A and B are shown apart, each in its own frame.
Chain A
Amino acid sequence: MSLRLLTGGEAVAHAMRQIDPDVVPAYPITPQTPIIQGYAKFVADGLAHGELIDVESEHSAMSAAIGAALAGARTMTATSSQGLALMTEVVYLAASLRAPIVMAVGNRALSGPINIHCDHSDAMLVRDSGCIQLFAENAQQAYDLMLIAPRVAEHHDVLLPVLVCLDGFTITHSAEAIELLRDDVVRRFVGEYVLPHSVLDAHSPVSRGPFAMPDTYFEFRVQQAQALERSLAVFQHVAAEFYEVTQRRYAPVEAYRCDDAERIVAVLGSTAGTIKDVVDELREEGERVGLVEITTFRPFPHAALAVAIDGADELIVLDRADSPGGTPPLRAEIAGSLYGSDVRLSGHVYGLGGRDFHPEDARQLFAREREGAAWLV
């Protein structure tokens, strides 16, 4: 196994080079830019062969991606923050039109005020779009999930976009030791893109994106939701194959030292890495604590979460996005999941706009000494 020092953005660009999609429409936005710049360099050097469409906005990036994917081309793109906000209309349409696009999302706060740093507000904006959303903990996971993503997106039981979410700067711009698979191993793992029907097929013309009135709209939505539910099993199947190739295990929920844990924290993204270290320390001190990291935020792994936290007294949910006037998205999801159980549920919004979350903050969290904590506002 050979390790390379790469940022998460570079690792994702390498994944794109190795998958070698047919079409990549993209627009620059911090902190996604290293992904697209890295991929553009691979194209310029003849190491990747896709059509790079330098579109004039993220709205057009996703629009062109839909056109390309439905024409029968394997299509990938990447975005962040305001870019995702601008393309949101079309993200919903990509899911509805069952376009299996893979998109990396360098998670970043939404304006305003404008801020380029990490939180999950952008990803939560498209929570209900019908797309699959996978959250990476670190650069290696971002790379690996980019390789798993096309297999899930393009599976004929699914045919939905996959968003691979990697925390802005914390993952996109931080260098880590990454194991890249061999190019031929990636190509073999990902396989060919085979769409059931291409809009370029003039011999059997089909109308895509028709007008659906109250008598049919509901059926479209239900079928789309069912496909998203089916993707959970497909993800597990593809992850199992990925384990065979890499010995790296992925699951909808990663339960870290949750056996016999009394207190468990639930979180998305890179903060899981910080908390794992603290869990290790506290375990050495005899504390019965654990962590659940949600990898497939959509579809949400309700059953796997229930198994992971079975026996715990308290579940503390950390949300890196808020829902002003309501309940933050991850806590709301888990509250629904736990309804009727006697697990005590608490939670906090943390880290908005890139506010750091340190190991000592995690210690405070487990110790319930949260009054006046620096990471809370």
Chain B
Amino acid sequence: MARLKTLVRNQRGEQPLRGGHALCQGCGIPMVVRIVLSTITRPTVVVNATGCLEVATTRYPTTAWNVPWLHVAFENTAAVASGVEAAQRALRRRQALPSDEDVAVVCFAGDGGTYDIGMQALSGALERGHRFLFVCYDNEAYMNTGIQRSGATPFGAATTTSQAGATGWGKAQRRKDMTAIAVAHHVPYVAQACGSYWDDLSRKVERAVECDGPAFLNVLTDCPVGWGHEPRLAPQLLEAAVESRFWPLYEVVDGRYRLTYRPRRAVDVEAWLRPQKRFAHLTPALVNKIRNQIDADWTELLARVDSSRTDEKGPDCDFIGGRL
């Protein structure tokens, strides 16, 4: 696991993602990127989907990236990574690259570039078994284009295309379970994480990059503009998502589910919903519906965790908490 110090500076003493970028105050994305890249000790190439991260870090002729970085389009990040990964194998085989230099291929995409328009390319790359890490910074809507609803937008959330009004009450559908979709590809490593739990995220990245195959990390990431919360509240809000069990932290290794963080007690979902303007219109009945859904999802997750248990002795989970 990366130490706090190395989360700021990587081993060469240089930040992989430098300051001076144009991401918003309180945006959770740079924290996720830095935790991921600072954990990886190998040379790394980043493949970035179109989105907030890409737009705000590479306005030509400036760049905030201190690692090789490639952006092609919105929906094809995993396909581009497939080509980079295959090229590395081919070049090593014909000795055009040093055999001992193993460059990690890491994708960053938002939920639009993962759950929606990016899913076909991601599914193909997962199925083909390329050795790469795909990190979804999931802030639950199309934030870069002005907060439109995505497949990751949760039930009840108001966005600019699922508005609350006289008859509308936000998104009427449940979010897509992208983590489960990734698991269904039988890849070696899939996990859900959250930027506020840096130690948990960092440990997951370590496991992910060690895999001999694809790894997928779904990381809940705040967006003060889209969620409508005070920037300074970002860490607590993300913690509320985890402690309320709205966003459980778990990993699926070779198909076996395991909680990596177990909240000591269930915090009510109000702690997650109330600080966010996108949920301000919710009636008690709708909140109750969300509460019941979270309970049902949690029970289902625990059942998967239970049925994944083996006789091998190992820790039940990596962290037990109760931050709120």
List the interface of chain A (C-beta within 8 A of B).
22-23, 25, 49-51, 53-57, 59-61, 63-73, 75, 89-90, 93, 97, 199-203, 205-213, 216, 220
Pair count A-B, CB < 8 A: 169
8 Å CB contact of B127 from A56, A67, A71, A205:
A56
B31-62 interface bits toward A, Cβ cutoff 8 Å, 1 = contact, 0 = none: 00000000000011101000000110011110
Q: A59-B76, A202-B44, A206-B68 are in contact. Are A72 and B91 (CB under 8 A)?
A: yes
- Comparing B92-100, B247-255, B314-322, the segment that makes contact with chain A is B92-100
Say whether B120 contacts A56, CB under 8 Å. Answer: yes
Is the C-beta of B277 less than 8 angstroms from some C-beta in chain A? no
CB pair B97–A200 under 8 Å, yes or no, is yes
Q: Note all chain A residues with C-beta closer than 8 A to B47.
A: 67
B4 within 8 A of A: no
Q: Are B72 and A97 in contact (CB under 8 A)?
A: yes
Instruction: Report the minimal beta-carbon distance from B321 to chain A, rounded to whole angstroms.
Output: 36
Measured between beta carbons, the chain A residues less than 8 angstroms from B75 are: 59
A-B contacts besides A49-B93, A202-B67, 16 pairs, CB < 8 Å: A25-B83, A49-B94, A50-B90, A56-B127, A59-B79, A63-B72, A63-B82, A64-B83, A67-B72, A68-B84, A68-B86, A200-B91, A205-B68, A209-B58, A210-B61, A213-B59
Given A202-B44, A207-B58, A90 and B73 contact (CB-CB distance below 8 Å): yes
B71 an interface residue at 8 Å Cβ cutoff?
yes
Least Cβ distance of B232 to chain A in Å? 28
Are A71 and B84 interface neighbours, CB within 8 A? Answer: yes
Report if A201-B90 is in contact (Cβ < 8 Å); known contacts: A53-B83, A63-B80, A64-B79: no
Given A23-B86, A55-B82, A199 and B120 touching (CB < 8 A)?
A: no
* A64 and B54 in contact, given A93-B73, A205-B68, A207-B65 (Cβ under 8 angstroms): no
In the complex the two chains form, what is the Cα distance from A59 to B121 in whole Å? 9
**Among A25, A60, A211, which residue has its beta carbon within 8 angstroms of that of B54?**
A211
C-beta contact mask, B6-24 vs A, less than 8 Å → 1, else 0?
Answer: 0000000000000000000
Question: Using Cβ atoms and an 8 Å threshold, which residues of chain A touch B280?
Answer: none
The answer to whether A67 and B81 touch across the interface, beta carbons within 8 angstroms, is yes
* Cα distance, A201 to B73, chains bound together (Å): 21
Check A68 against B83 for contact (C-beta < 8 Å): yes
